[in-house]
């Protein structure tokens, strides 16, 4: 049981809410050098950590979504097709990273190994 965030009606138990996106915004992510760390656990390459660069990019993200009843979602989609309502586009957002949290991560040397049943130090 939940309350529809679009109409305010109480929906009976057993009916699942529909997620309805009402607001979106464009977002820009910066490039990050050596952001993705991947460890290999092969015996011939023990404790090798290699890094890949995240190129960043542009896309969109959900700014607001509502839990609505299936009936209200159907009605909203019909109104959207008729041009009466539409998803709002908000001001674009640029993600600014002050630091890379992985920049101080160093590969393990001899004696600082990782012990488990698949890997020997």
Q: Which residues of the chain have pLDDT under 50?
A: 111, 113, 121
Q: What is the spatial distance between Cα 54 and Cα 31, in angstroms, rounded to a whole number? A: 6
Q: Which one, of 8, 15, 7, lies nearest residue 79 by Cα?
A: 7
pLDDT of amino acid 121: 47
pLDDT of amino acid 38: 75
User: pTM score, two decimals?
Assistant: 0.60
């Amino acid at each position: 049981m939940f309350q529809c965030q679009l109409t305010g009606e109480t929906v009976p138990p057993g009916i699942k809410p529909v997620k309805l996106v009402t607001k979106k915004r464009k977002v820009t992510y910066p490039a990050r050098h050596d952001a993705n760390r991947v460890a290999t656990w092969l015996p011939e390459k023990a404790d090798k950590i290699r890094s890949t660069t995240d190129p960043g990019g542009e896309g969109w993200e959900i700014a607001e979504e509502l839990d609505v009843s299936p009936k209200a979602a159907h009605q909203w989609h019909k109104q959207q097709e008729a041009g009466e309502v539409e998803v709002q586009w908000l001001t674009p957002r640029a993600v600014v990273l002050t630091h890379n949290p992985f920049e101080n991560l160093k590969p393990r040397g001899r004696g600082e190994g990782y012990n488990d049943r698949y890997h020997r130090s």
